[in-house]
Amino acid sequence: MDTLPDLRGFTLTFSLAETCGALAVILTVAWVGHFRNGFAWQERPSVQFNWHPVLMVTGLVYLYANSALLYRVFRSERKRKLKLAHAALNLTSLLLVMIGLKAVFDSHDLASPPIPNLYSLHSWVGLTAVLMFAMQWVIGFVSFLVPGMSGAIRARYLPWHQFFGLTIFVTACGAAIMGLLEKAIFTLTKKNDLPPYASLPPEAYLINFIGLLLAVFCCLVVFLLSHTGYRRQPQPEDEVLLRDTVID
C-alpha cells in the first residue's frame, strides 16, 4: 500500500536545503578565489588544485542531491521526463567530478617535487564515492532507461538504486568535509601562519562555515529523501508503462 502524501514542512525544508547547498558552492568559489589565488590549469599546478573543491562540492554534492530531489519537487510530472532529467543531471555531475579529479591529480603530479596521490583518508573515501557514483549511473541507465528491461527486475532493483544513491551522497558529503579539514590543516598550520593559542584567521572561519553548511545540507537532503510522505505518488501513465514493461 502506498503511503499517503503528507507535504507539511516540505517547502520550508527544501528551501533551507537549497539555501545551504547553494551557499556552500558560492562560498567555496569565494574561498579559493580570495584566499587561494583563484583558478588556473596545468601552467600553475598548485592553483589548478582549486578546481577540485569547487567542482566536487558542485557536482558530487549539490547537483547530485538535486538530481534525486527532482522526484520530490516535480511530483506531478511524468516519470519518463523525470528519469531523463535525473540521468542528465547526474551525467553533468559526473563530468564535473571527472574534471575535479583531473585537477587534483595534475596538481600532485606536476608539482615540484611531485606529491604522492591517494595518501589520505579523504582521498580514499572520495574516490570510493566517485567510483560508486559512476557504477550507479551506468547500472541505473541500463536498468531504467534502456527499453526492454523487465518491469519486475526494475521493481526489484529500485530499492537498491535508492539505497546506494543515498549512501553515495552521504559518503560524498563526508569526503568533502574531510577535504576541507585536510586543506585547512596543510595550509593554515604552517610555521608563523597560526601561532599557538592564536585566534583563528578569517580563512579558517570560512572553511569551517562551509563545512557546517555541507553537514546541514546533507542532513536536510537525507530527511527530504527518506520522509515517506514526500515521495512521488504513482501516476496513471506509470502503471500503463509498467504493464508494458517498457519503463517502470
Amino acid sitting at position 37: N
238-to-120, 141, 244, 245 alpha-carbon distances in Å: 46, 18, 10, 10
pLDDT score for 238? 63
Residue 136 has pLDDT above 80, yes or no: yes
The pLDDT, as a whole number, for residue 98 is 97
CA distances from 96 to 60, 62, 100 (A): 8, 11, 6
From the list 55, 131, 129, 39, the residue with the least C-alpha distance to 93 is: 55
Q: Is 139 within the bounds of a domain?
A: yes
Whether residue 3 lies inside any domain: the answer is no
Question: Does the pLDDT value for residue 25 go beyond 90?
Answer: yes
CA distances (Å), origin 183, targets 51, 114, 120: 13, 17, 11
42 compared with 195, residue with greater pLDDT: 42
Q: What residue numbers bound the domain in which 119 lies?
A: 10-244
**30 within domain boundaries:** yes
The count of structural domains within the chain is 1
d(CA 173, CA 65): 10
Q: What is the CA radius of gyration of the chain?
A: 20
In degrees and rounded to multiples of 5, residue 75 shows phi and psi of -70, -25
pLDDT of residue 193: 55
Is 115 among the domain residues?
A: yes
**Can you tell me the distance from the alpha carbon of 68 to that of 78, in angstroms, rounded to the nearest whole number?**
15
- Is the alpha carbon torsion for 179, 182, 187, 192 positive or negative? positive
Binned at pLDDT 50, 70 and 90, residue 49 comes out as very high
Q: Which of 18-22, 155-159, 174-178, 196-200 has the lowest mean pLDDT?
A: 196-200
Residues 6+ apart with CB under 8 A from 135: none
Residue 219 domain-assigned (yes or no): yes
Q: CATH number of the domain that 196 lies in?
A: 1.20.120.1770
Q: Which of 220, 227, 188 is nearest to 204 (CA)?
A: 188
Q: 53: cis peptide before it, omega within 30°?
A: no
Give the tens place of pLDDT for each residue, 175-233.
999 999 999 988 887 644 555 555 778 999 999 999 999 999 999 999 999 998 888 87
**CB neighbour list of residue 193: distance below 8 Å, 6 or more residues apart:** 187, 201
Least confident range of 49-63, 111-125, 140-154: 140-154
| pTM (global) more than 0.85 | yes
Buried b (16+ CB within 10 A) or exposed e, 169-204: bebbbbbbbbbbeebbeeeeeeeeebeeeeeeeebb
Torsion of CA 50, 53, 55, 60, to 10 degrees: 170
Q: What is the pLDDT of residues 111-132, one digit of tens each?
A: 999 999 999 999 999 999 999 9
In a domain, 4, yes or no: no
pLDDT tens readout for residues 64-119 = 999 999 999 998 888 889 999 999 999 999 999 999 999 999 999 999 999 999 99
109 is a domain residue = yes
pLDDT at 197: 54
